[in-house]
């Protein structure tokens, strides 16, 4: 795994946006895997700016989001549909038909998972998968467990995740308990993976991820098996790493 330790959130966001830009310049019909949450917001701002400056054309880009809350319709302000349009899609020239996000209000949720999985397969593989990381090491909403389903599936969110995400809702009762998430198999099939983390609340999860010890109790540890992962972290997220752990990875700048 390549690890880039940067000064702060803004630098993480700028470096991440540069990598996305390079990818789209190299392959205009890039398939991007996208994350929501606080972490990629800065990167999306930079991507919008780059698009407005004429540096990136999204007209042939295809996107697949990692997840969506069950029970929130696309027009719900806390749904990941809403988030993506508000923070990226409304500001760039992506085609609506090239956007894919699981439908959290589908009548048949199991069928929706199968449909999403078929859509990913139909397109082939994700070229660049962008990931955030949960405080418990989840990627997408693949939560720590004894075993983890590998395909797109319905997941019950852990208390840790519900607590971490309550900041977006009026009260903890409003946080959905379930979500649809892309499985680890599609994430791991991506040609390239870029994981972003900022702040000391992510330091423990990053330390576990870089240990090189695989466990379903920390889903991000699976990334050690992928041949092309770049992790961009700021000083806070890197704060618990020892020299020994850093010696296991390729430091890059």
**The two three-digit tokens of residue 219, written as one number:** 């889903």
d(CA 37, CA 54): 26
Q: Are 2 and 223 a contacting pair, CB within 8 Å?
A: no
Determine what percent of the chain falls in helix, strand and coil, rounding each to the nearest 5: 40, 20, 40
Nearer Cβ to ligand F6R (104/132)? 132
Can residue 37 be called a binding residue for ligand F6R (CB under 6 A)? Answer: yes
Any catalytic annotation for residue 107? no
CB nearer to ligand F6R: pick between 98 and 142: 142
Q: Interface with ligand F6R includes 33 (CB under 6 A)?
A: no
Alpha-carbon gap, residue 198 to 211, rounded angstroms: 18
66 belongs to the binding site for ligand F6R (CB under 6 A): yes
Verify binding: residue 153, ligand F6R, rule CB under 6 A: no
103 is catalytic: no
149-166 burial, b if ≥16 CB within 10 A, otherwise e?
A: eeebbbbebbeebeebbe
Q: Does 35 bind ligand F6R (CB under 6 A)?
A: yes
CB of 132 to ligand F6R, least distance (A): 2
From the candidates 81, 100, 138, 153, give the one annotated as an active-site residue. 138
Q: Using the rule CB under 6 A, is 137 a contact of ligand F6R?
A: no
How far is it, in rounded angstroms, from Cα 13 to Cα 11? 5
Tell whether residue 67 is a contact of ligand F6R (CB under 6 A): yes
In the complex, what is the shortest distance from the CB of residue 122 to ligand F6R, in angstroms, rounded to a whole number? 22
User: Residues 33, 102, 137, 140: which binds ligand F6R (CB under 6 A)?
Assistant: 140
Q: Closest distance between ligand F6R and the C-beta of residue 37, in Å?
A: 3
Residues in contact with 237: Cβ distance below 8 Å, sequence separation at least 6, in sequence order: 197, 198, 199, 200, 202, 203, 206
CA 61 to each of CA 20, 111, 149: distance values in angstroms, whole numbers, following the listed order: 11, 26, 28
Is residue 219 at the binding interface for ligand F6R, with CB under 6 A as the rule?
no
Q: Which of 39, 98, 129, 230 binds ligand F6R (CB under 6 A)?
A: 39
Q: Is 139 in the site for ligand F6R (CB under 6 A)?
A: yes
Among 42, 134, 137, 176, binds ligand F6R (CB under 6 A): 134
**Assigned token pair, 225:** 């098996």
Annotated catalytic, 117? no
- Tell me how far apart the alpha carbons of residues 61 and 51 are, in angstroms, rounded to a whole number: 13
**How many residues line the site for ligand F6R (CB under 6 A)?**
14
The answer to whether residue 253 is catalytic is no
CA 194 to chain centroid: 8
Identify which of residues 60 and 224 has a Cβ nearer to ligand F6R in the complex. 224
Query: Contact between 129 and ligand F6R (CB under 6 A)?
Result: no
At 79 the three-state DSSP class reads coil
Residues identified as active-site: 67, 136, 138, 143
Binding site for ligand F6R (CB under 6 A): 35-39, 66-67, 132-134, 138-141
């Amino acid at each position: 795994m390549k690890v880039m330790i940067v000064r702060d959130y803004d630098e993480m966001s700028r470096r991440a946006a540069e990598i996305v830009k390079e990818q789209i310049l190299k392959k205009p019909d890039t398939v991007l895997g996208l994350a929501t949450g606080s972490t990629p917001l800065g990167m999306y701002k930079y991507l919008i700016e780059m698009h407005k400056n004429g540096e990136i054309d999204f007209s042939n880009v295809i996107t697949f989001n990692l997840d969506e809350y069950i029970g929130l319709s696309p027009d719900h302000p806390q749904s990941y549909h809403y988030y993506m349009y508000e923070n990226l899609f409304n500001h760039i020239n992506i085609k609506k038909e090239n956007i894919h996000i699981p439908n959290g209000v589908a009548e048949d949720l199991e069928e929706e998972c199968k449909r999403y999985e078929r859509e990913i397969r139909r397109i082939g593989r994700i070229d660049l998968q962008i990931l955030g990381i949960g405080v418990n090491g989840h990627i997408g909403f693949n939560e720590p467990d004894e075993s983890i389903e590998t395909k797109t599936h319905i997941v019950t969110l852990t208390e840790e995740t519900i607590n971490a995400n309550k900041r977006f809702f009026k009260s903890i009762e409003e946080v959905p308990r379930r979500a649809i998430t892309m499985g680890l198999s599609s994430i791991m099939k991506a040609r390239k993976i870029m994981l972003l983390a900022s702040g000391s609340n992510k330091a423990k999860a990053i330390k576990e991820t870089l240990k090189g010890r695989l466990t379903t109790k920390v889903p991000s540890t699976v990334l050690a098996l992928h041949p092309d992962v770049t992790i961009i972290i700021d000083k806070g997220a890197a704060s618990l790493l020892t020299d020994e752990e850093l010696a296991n990875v390729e430091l890059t700048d």
